Amino acid sequence: MESKLIIILIIVIGAIAISQLVRVYELTAKLRKHEEHEIPVRDNYLNAMLMLVFMVIQFGGLIYLMIKYGWTGRGPAASVQGEYTDWLLDLNLILITAIFFLTNFLLFYFSFKYVKRPGVKAYYYPHNNKLEILWTVVPAAVLAVIIILGLQTWNEVTGASPKEAINIELYSKQFDWTARYSGTDNMLGKTDYKLILGNNELGLMTEATIDSSIHAMRHGAGGILDIQKILNNRDTVLTDSLVNVLRKDLGTKERLLRLLNQMKATHNPALDKQVYDDIIQRDTLYLCVNKPYEFSFRSKDVIHSAYFPHFRAQMNTVPGYGTRLKFTPNMTTAEMRKIKNLPAFHYVLMCNKICGGAHYKMKMMVVVLEEEEYNAWMKGKESKNFKATYFPAPSAQAVIPAESTAISAMN
Ligand SMILES: [Cu+2]
């Protein structure tokens, strides 16, 4: 408290001192019969020199940084689409850099050259149509070229994937990424948020997952039957506010149950196999070099953004709204390690939208493999598809269908 007071006091006294000094300077100038707006010739020449010095420091600094961190500081792109966008960025950067040097040179050099000299009057030159046309048409033409090339690149990068593209879903939530490979059929099975349960975190849709969600909604902990039991128990006294909360919760769950029953009625069990061969993968995303990938995104909670800096790809993930992105990795992790001379380098997928407290660590490692290595990895994964993880042991496999028939009998 005291130290703050002293700091404020120092600032106030400092301001008063400066204003008094300025006042003294003005008065002495008056005594010397010298008006304050009359700048001495010596000061003008000094300022002109400083203009040149500033220009040299500015240009030198920029060139130094470009040499130190590489021309753009980006490093090589690791995808086909990334090479297109890098080409466009380089073109823009070349133009911007050239114009920067040219305009800044003119600005500072002319300030130096045309310094005010005693007895020299400035030349009055108010207007020139030719010049006006020149500096309107040339930037317009350059901008048109940039925009046309930009639209072309945009269409290439965001356009539809080729048919043979591998489908992968990336599911975002606070604070991690889960990948879902589409399995042997290259088709991602259907999903619904209402099916999200402990053993079905991505809400995949099959007859069995619908049944277990219906079961959980009715019989699970905090389910409809539990709430009804509390509300109907005449031996306990509930406060009004608690009754309200419970009734609201009950209403929501009854509505969800109705929707689940509708889902069950319209679900086509023939589609289950699209879900069962899907492979859920955490922590590391494995990709095959030179294969086109089509990524679909979902979000469980808030808006996240899937950012693959080395592949120059980014897309928001939005709750309740699917988004997509494509790229073809064209450099394996091993190749990039060699180019960067960093033996421990890894590609990453990061969240690029401030999405909450642990946003900073919401990332997934990405490993790009040669086709052979990738196929070997995938072979090991195929036996761990959704079906295998959802029905872990043969004994459990027998229990769940029995349970589900019991549930459908109850409904
Ligand atoms: Cu996030």
Taking only the tens place, the pLDDT of each residue in 211-249 is 888 888 888 888 888 888 888 888 888 888 888 999 999
pLDDT score of 140: 96
Q: Which long-range contacts (CB under 8 A, 24 or more apart) does 100-104 make?
A: 100/62, 101/59, 104/55, 104/58, 104/59
Ligand 1 mean position, distance from CA 64 (Å) = 36
Q: What is the reported pLDDT for 156?
A: 87
For the record, the structure tokens of 319 come out as 């709750």
Asked whether residue 121 carries a pLDDT value surpassing 90, the answer given is no
With a CB cutoff of 8 Å and minimum separation 6, the contacts of 185 are 273, 274, 277
**19 has pLDDT over 90:** yes
pLDDT digits (tens, 9 = 90+) for 51-66: 999 999 999 999 999 8
| Longest CA pairwise span in the chain (Å) | 108
- Average pLDDT of the residues of the chain: 88
pTM of the model: 0.74
- Residue 112 CA, ligand 1 centroid: distance in Å: 51
Q: pLDDT for 40-52, tens place per residue? A: 888 889 999 999 9
pLDDT digits (tens, 9 = 90+) for 147-161: 999 999 999 888 888
Calculate how far, in angstroms, residue 192's C-alpha sits from the geometric centre of ligand 1. 21
What's the gap in Å between 354 CA and the centre of ligand 1? 6
Tell me how far the alpha carbon of residue 284 lies from the centroid of ligand 1, in angstroms: 17
Poorest-confidence range of 188-202, 294-308, 391-405?
A: 391-405
Domain limits of the chain? Answer: 12-118, 184-268+401-411
What is the model's pLDDT at position 331? 93
Distance of CA 340 from the midpoint of ligand 1 (Å): 28
Ligand 1 center to 171 CA (angstroms): 11
Beta-strand relationship, 284-288 and 293-299: unpaired
pLDDT-based confidence at 409, cuts 50/70/90? very low
| Spacing, Cα 377 to ligand 1 middle (Å) | 28
* Cα 314 to middle of ligand 1, angstroms: 13
| Maximum mean pLDDT: which of 65-79, 138-152, 219-233, 274-288 | 138-152
279, pLDDT greater than 80: yes
Report how far residue 286's alpha carbon sits from residue 295's, in angstroms, rounded to the nearest whole number. 13
175 CA distance to ligand 1 centroid (A)? 6
**d(CA 238, ligand 1 centre) in Å:** 40
Q: The dihedral of CA 25, 29, 31, 35: what is its sign?
A: negative
